[in-house]
Each structure stands twice: as structure tokens, then as C-alpha cells.
Structure 1
Amino acid sequence: MNTTTALLIFARTASEESKHKSFKASEAFFRYQNKKLLELAKTSGLDYFWVDESHQIGENFAQRYLNAIQFVFEKDYEQVISIGNDSPGLSLDQINQSVQLLKSRDMCFGPSQDGGFYLWGVKKAFFKKEEFQNFPWKTQNLLSVILTTLEQQSISVDYLQTLGDLDFREDAQHLLKNTKLSFTLKDILLQMINPKQNVLSLFQPHLKSKFTDVYYNKGSPKSCLIQTF
């Protein structure tokens, strides 16, 4: 077990996230994501900390996020890997890769398509909270500004694959192109695009051509209880 590296999940509860998103099915999306992240954390082999809105401290996003990382470092960890809950493509592979990258690099990033990042791995010796507060957080040039600054300071950096995230309703269409997403998540994304559509409609042309004479009854939807985080 890795006892020098901790995983930080910096994410609001699903109900709180939905208050900041204007699209349909946002609460269902973040409920699904939060459950998935908890499962990833438990199987990662790392100590992990979940910091939601009830434990975040600061007047703006930068302060709350950086304070959360500082909080974990104060628990005597040498490395922190932080992740959020808006990138469905995030898997255990990226977490494991970041652990390996930090063995030879000072930091690592998982870039997101909007110009930010979905994962940040950083060593304690290179975490400068006061300086990092001045970065242009929540903007599309965040990562490029960070990387320019780190290069000037000769801080070594490596990268994971770029993933898409979900900030707006339009992002759901792009995320649906990821064939590795689960059936449940694809259905949630489709509900964002068109509340009257469900994931089975993606397969209807194929089903009709192959089973034209077969009676198909999808039955009543089954209800399920997903814990809210």
C-alpha cells in the first residue's frame, strides 16, 4: 500500500452540483459520478479524502481547492493526487499512472478539453499555495498558464491523456462518443440532450433491421436507489 501518496476528491454533493448546472439530469449525473469516484478511491490502494462543500474553506474556488490540498499535505503525505467529478472518462488507470509519474516528476496533469485539468498530482515540496492562487482558475487558458509558470521555475511535469468533461449541456453530445461509458451513464447523458430519448434509441435501427418480426417489450423501468454523496 502506498502510504506517502493520498487521493483528494474535491467535489460537491450531487444536490449541490445540480444547483450550479442549468441542464436537465445534472443531479443524476453527479450522483452517478460521485458513486463511481468513491468506488475508484476504495480500489486505488491510496488513502483518500473527500472534501465536499461542507468542508471546503475559502471565498472562491481557488482558495477552497488549494486549501483542500494543503489540508491533505498537513496529514503528512508527500504527494497529493486531486480529482474532480465532472470527467466521466476518468478511470483507475489514470490514477495509477499518476502515481507512477510522480516517481520521476514533480507534478503531473490530466488535461481536460476545456483548457483545465481533471487530475493534478503534486509533490509537497512544489506546492506553493499562495502563488497558485494567482492562476486564472475556471478559465480556458488555466493549464497553459500553469505550465508556462512551471517551466520558468524548472519544475518537471508529465501528462496523462486528455479527457472531456461536462460543464454545459452541449458537452453531453461529445461525451456520448466515448464507447467505454456505461449504459447507465449514456442514458443520463441522453436525458440531458433530449429528456424524451433514452439509451435504447441508439440501438433501435440495428434492432429493427435484425429483429423485424420479433416482438420487443422493454418492460417497465426498474427503480434503483443510489446513495447521495
Structure 2
Amino acid sequence: MKPNRNKTVLLVFSLSAKIEAERKPLFGGKKQEVSTQFFDLLIKNTLEVANKSSVDVVWLDETQQHGNTFAERYTNAYKSLYTQGYTNVISIGNDTPNLTASHIQQAVDAMATKKVVFGPSIDGGIYLFGVHKSIFNEDAFKNLPWLTSKLSNKIHSLAVAKNVPFTVLETLQDINTKVSAIEYACANPNSVLASFIIAYLSQRSKKAIKTSNNIVSSFYTSSFLRRGPPSL
């Protein structure tokens, strides 16, 4: 953990790769080990990005989270960090591979003058959420529509309604389903994660799933011929 100079902490709120694979079998129920390896890569990438930040970093997996529901566990994590003396808690998950240190720094900078910062996901959720201690309300926080496509809009509308100064970051794509995994691979063909996705998804899945921009079929037949050096 880095020295705490500005009372801001970055919370990596994540399940372990094994549990993520059980809940999100992206590569099929019979390929649990493959899904685990994939989430290992995602978590490693997330922690590398997090550790480039200018603030303290705390990673909480299921062995350190407390509560019966996601909302309870997430709320308790924020409460615990405020109790430890932090003024700003900025959280991220492990499923947004295009998240960079720059996004995190933008959030840290925003919290110097704002009370809320969030990064919307394409599916309507969020990939980053920063909340100042002064406006944290346990009941309201717990009752947000977590894990739904309404979350980003709800946070935005509440901030506007309550006149809370806020910043919205760039919208990014997270990976929670097989479709989102393929869409990510199409958009980032030179990445290590894309190579992994392409290598392990079955031929049947490749043919069955189409993206809205209709480029999946051509991607699988030609992307390897165009690829440069892999990068995360």
C-alpha cells in the first residue's frame, strides 16, 4: 500500500478468479478452468492499472467482504474505508479491460472538487464509482439498483436531483457475458485478452453470436492476418 497523502483510496472490489468463473462461465460450463484463467488475466490487468495510481489501493475479494447481498457487501466496504480515515473512496471492479491509469487519475482529480465521480459501462452499469464521505448515506447507497442496466442513469439522476457536484468519465465496455467478450475481442484485436477469447471460444459460439455492427464473422476469418504485437 502506498503512503496516504490525500485521504483518497482506490478500492478494487472483486471476486477471486475461481468464483468469478463459477458465476460467469464465459467459455461454457464445461470449461471452468478456462474461465478461471481468463479472470486471472483480468484481475492481474486491473491490479497493475490500480497500482499505477497516486493513492492507496485496497483489494477486497470474497474472503474479506461482509454481507449477505452484493449491496450489503459493497456498502460495508465503503463504510469500513471511511472508518479508517479516508475521505474519498473510489472503487473499480475487475471486468473492464480498457480501464487505464488515466481514468483513475481523472477520478482522483475530480474528487478534489466534486462529491461524486462515476464511469458508465456500455450495458448501463458502472465500472468506477467515487463518493465523498460527506454525502455517503448508507441506506440510499444500499438501495441503488446494483447489478442492473439502470444503475448509471440512477446515479446521474440522483446527483442532479440532490444538487451534488459530480463528474462523469468516459463510457467503457465491461465483460460479463460471452457476447460482451466477443465484442471486446472485435474492438481490441491486438490484445492478449482478445487472443485468449478467440482461442477458447467454440466454433459454434463464434458462428452463433453476432454483434450489432455485423463484424464478428469477418473478424474471425481475417483478424489474425492483421494483428500486430499483443498488448493488454
Q: Does 1:110 align with 2:113?
A: no
Two-structure CA RMSD over aligned residues (Å): 2.2
Deviation at 1:23, TM superposition (A): 2.0
> Are the structure 2 counterparts of residues 77 and 174 from structure 1 closer, same or farther at C-alpha, using a change threshold of 3 Å?
same
Corresponding residue for 1:218?
none
How many residue pairs align between the two structures?
204
- What's the CA shift for 1:50? 0.6
Query: Structure 1 residue 122 and structure 2 residue 134: aligned?
Result: no
Tell me the TM-score normalised to structure 1 length: 0.82
Are residues 192 and 132 of structure 1, via their aligned partners in 2, closer, same or farther at CA, if it must alter by over 3 Å? Answer: farther
**2:98 maps to what in 1?**
89
Instruction: Give the ranges of 4+ consecutive aligned residues of structure 1 lying more than 3 Å apart after TM superposition.
Output: 191-197
- Call closer, same or farther: CA 1:182–1:63 in 2, change over 3 Å: farther
Counterparts of residues 1-229 of structure 1 (less than 5 Å):
2-24=5-27, 25-179=34-188, 183-191=191-199, 193-194=201-202, 202-204=223-225
Structure 1 residues 43 and 124 mapped into 2: Cα distance closer, same or farther (>3 Å)?
same
CA displacement at 1:183 relative to structure 2: 3.2
Contact 1:173–1:189 under 8 Å retained in 2? yes
Larger gyration radius, structure 1 or structure 2: 1
SS at 2:6 equivalent:
strand
Change (3 A) 1:11 1:39: same
In terms of fraction of residues, the more helix-rich structure is 2
Unaligned residue ranges in structure 2 (runs of 5+): 28-33, 207-219, 228-232
Return the alpha-carbon distance in structure 1 between the equivalents of residues 74 and 190 of structure 2.
29
C-alpha distance in 2 between matches for 1:200 and 1:80: 44
- How far apart are 1:63 and its partner, in Å? 0.6
State how far apart, in whole Å, the 2-side matches of 1:195 and 1:74 are.
50
In structure 1, stretches of 5+ residues that fail to align are 208-229
